[in-house]
Amino acid sequence: MKDIEKLANALNLANEAAKKVSGTKDGGSCNMDAPTILLTGWRQPDINKVNAISSVKLSKKIQSRWWRKSRFVEIDLEGCASCRTAMAEACVNSLKSSGYDAAVFYQLD
């Protein structure tokens, strides 16, 4: 059985970590950078339970050749350039610290 509460808590902590860097100066190239998480063996009903108890939601699996099976971590990203990147990276670092396989989806606009 998956530890649904552990993941929900890790997502909430990651969101708080991202908020701490939300004041980063927003210069540079506009982008669509976003945090992702790979949850091997997790089914959609498990994800639905996590989404029900966490303040942060997980998307459906990304349908892409390179990101297949990963999910976007839907935090409230601010800015459109370096602030957005800093928040995504803070979120991912927090998730990694909690023991999850996370990465930043880097995408220039």
Q: Angle, nearest 10°, between helix axes 4-20 and 44-53?
A: 50
Q: Looking at the 3D structure of the chain, how many domains does it have? A: 1
Domain that residue 94 falls in: 4-21+30-105
What CATH number is associated with residue 8? Answer: 3.30.70
Q: What is the DSSP string of 11-47?
A: HHHHHHHHHHTTTS---S--B--EEEEE-TT--HHHH
Its pTM stands at 0.93
Q: Is the pLDDT of residue 25 over 60?
A: yes
Mean pLDDT of the residues in the chain: 94
Q: Is the pLDDT of residue 62 over 60?
A: yes
Q: Is the pLDDT of residue 1 over 90?
A: no
Residues with Cβ within 8 Å of 20's Cβ and at least 6 positions away in sequence, in order, are 90
Helix (H, G, I), strand (E, B) or coil at 57: strand
What's the one-letter identity of residue 16?
A: E
Helix (H) or strand (E) holding 59: strand 57-61
